[in-house]
Amino acid sequence: MNLNPEFLKELKTRFQIVFSDLSLLEEAFTQSSYVNEHPELKLQDYQRIEFLGDAVMELIVSEYLYKKYPNYPEGKLTRLRAAIVCEDSFSAFARECHFDQYIQLGRGEEMNGARDRNSLLCDIFESFVGALYLDQGRQTVVRFVQQVVFPKVEAGRFSYAMDHKTNLQEWLQKSGEVDITYRLVGEPTTSNNQQFTVEVVAQDQILGTGQGHNKKAAEQVAAETALKKLQKR
C-alpha cells in the first residue's frame, strides 16, 4: 500500500473520514500511467470508481438543489447543476482538498505536468467520491459534500450560471410566451459619462432600467431590477 500517512491524517482531521478498505482509496488515487509502470503491483486505475463517483455527485447535487430551491424552475436547476458538476469546479474542489498531492502518477505523466491538469483533478475528485460511497455509503458522502461543495453554492460561487435576463424571461413566461425587449436609451457621451442605459420592456410596459459599462452589463442590471420589482408585487 502506497498511501501517504499525511493524506490519511488530513482526511481524518479535516473531514472526519476514516476508510475501512484502504485499497479503494488507493485505487481512487492511482492513474493508469502508474499502473503501467508497475505491472508487478497488479494495481487497478481509478477509472471504474470514477465512473461510479460521477453519478454519485450528480445525484447528491441534484437532490440538494431540488430541495434547497423549491421555487427554481427546472431550467435554472439544470444550469446551476451544470456549473457545479463540471471539470472547472471539481478540479478546484480537488485542489482545496489537497488531492493533487496524493495522486499516484507514472513518471512520464508527472513530467508532463499531469498533476496540475484540471481534467485529471476532476477525475480524482469523482473517484474519491466513488470510493467514499463504496466504503462508507451515501450519508458520509453527503457530509463530505456538505463541507466541501454546498457552502460555495450558498456563497454564490455559481450564481453566474443563473443570469438575470434568463431569470426574468422564466418569470415572465411562466404562463406562456411573452416578448421581452431590451432597449438602449442612453450611450456614453462624454469621458465623464461612460455608462450605457438600457430599459427592459414587455407588453408595452417598462419593467426596469439598468446602467453598465457595456450594453450586456446594463441589460443584466435592468433585468435584475425588473425581477426585484415583479417579485415584490
Q: Does 56 participate in binding a copy of itself (rule CB under 8 A)? A: yes
Instruction: Give burial (CB, 10 Å; 0-12/13-18/19+) of 25.
Output: buried
Q: Does 50 participate in binding a copy of itself (rule CB under 8 A)? A: yes
Among 47, 118, 169, 195, binds a copy of itself (CB under 8 A): 47
Q: Does 77 participate in binding a copy of itself (rule CB under 8 A)? A: yes
Region of 42 please: left (phi>0), alpha (psi -120 to 50) or beta.
left
Is 54 an annotated catalytic residue? yes
Q: Copy the grid coordinates of residue 32.
A: 493508469
* The dihedral formed by the CA atoms of 147, 149, 155 and 156, expressed in degrees to the nearest 10: -170
Between 9 and 138, whose beta carbon lies closer to a copy of itself?
138
Using the rule CB under 8 A, give the single segment among 5-13, 42-50, 145-153, 203-211 that binds a copy of itself. Answer: 42-50
As measured in angstroms, the least distance from the Cβ of 18 to a copy of itself is 23
Q: Copy the grid coordinates of residue 8.
A: 490519511
The CA distances from residue 225 to 118, 188, 229, in Å, are: 37, 21, 6
Contact 162, 77 (CB under 8 A): no
Q: Does 188 participate in binding a copy of itself (rule CB under 8 A)? A: no
Q: Does 126 participate in binding a copy of itself (rule CB under 8 A)? A: no
User: Which residue ranges make up the site for a copy of itself (CB under 8 A)?
Assistant: 36, 39, 47-48, 50-52, 54-56, 58-59, 61-63, 66, 72-74, 77-78, 81, 138, 175-176
Catalytic residues: 54, 126
